[in-house]
Amino acid sequence: MQGKIALEEHVAIEPTLSDSKVFGAHVWGDLGPRLIDVQDMRLREMDSHGIEMMILSLNAPAVQSIHDVKTAIAVARQANDVLAEHVAKRPARFAAFAALPMQDPDAAITELNRCVKELGFVGALVNGFSNIGTPDNVTYYDLPQYRPFWRAIEGLDVPFYLHPRNPQPGNPQFQGHNWLLGPNWAFSAETAVHALRLIGSGLFDEHPNLKLVLGHLGEGIPVQLWRIDGRNGWMKEPHRYPAKHGVGHYFRKHFHLTTSGNFHTPSLVNAMTEMGADRVMFSVDWPFEDVGQGCDWFDKAAISEAERAKVGRDNAVKLFKLKI
């Protein structure tokens, strides 16, 4: 399929580059240059495999792991300026998501407004929880101090991409089992819980126009929706949380999913069945996944051509208001 749009595609700047080495130390000679490059190798890969546009975002965990608040604010601004420069060189081929210093909600609002209103960014991508003040402080965005931030992003009418990071070091579930970290399991487990916390907090009742994006075909949530809301239904013991409705209600109404790093047709079909084909979008997860592999899979996946057009391009154009 020609004209695809990919939207979980990462770039590193010098202060954040080393954050990604853990995800491919043995191939760092290839991975590092892929992260820094935008206008050369990346563009050739796009041209070779029918990708018209990539929406660029900072690598992970990057800003979210910088516990010194002033430094986090400075690095977010630096990263966004670099992304804006790349977009300005080829606005028909690249757009960008804002990196945000969520350690300080007010600063995150300020940077979000700058990126959307001045730099023309199409949303924000945040790498999970933030460390604030110390490396051990773990803060999630369902907490009350983030309500003004959610009000701001709703007011700007741009999507918020909740991207994975590994759980806090020392988590006993993963100690001694490093093979479970990263995309094997921990990324999805950590991000799914964060998304469910946002849902259960009542956030979407307070802000009914919020739009969130999850990668990797929903971090495992779609296949679990019935069980999450069913929970031993004969016992007639409903969820006790601030939200007014079941998880499935909010997930299908407020979330959009991408295929990033999950090139599996049964999982794609499940996501489209649960969410509707209008809420699933193509992505690769470059440079951690291969553009050729992702595109070859998607172009041949056993879905209808109408669905392929929606997932591969049309849904992203509509959600992010792309002028292409």
Q: Where are the alpha helices (DSSP H) in 120-277?
A: 147-156, 186-200, 203-206, 225-230, 247-254, 265-275
Residue 40 among the catalytic residues: no
The single-letter DSSP state of residue 9 is E
Nearest one of 233, 321, 221, 227 to 271, comparing CA atoms? 221
**Candidates 104, 106, 285, 299; catalytic one:** 285
DSSP secondary structure letters along 268-320: HHHHHHHH-GGGEE----TTTS-HHHHHHHHHHSSS-HHHHHIIIIIHHHHHT
Question: Token digits for 299?
Answer: 């172009």
DSSP secondary structure letters along 92-120: TTEEEPBP--TTSHHHHHHHHHIIIIIS-
Nearest one of 178, 197, 144 to 23, comparing CA atoms? 178
Cα separation, 139 vs 137, whole angstroms: 6
Give the catalytic positions in this structure.
285
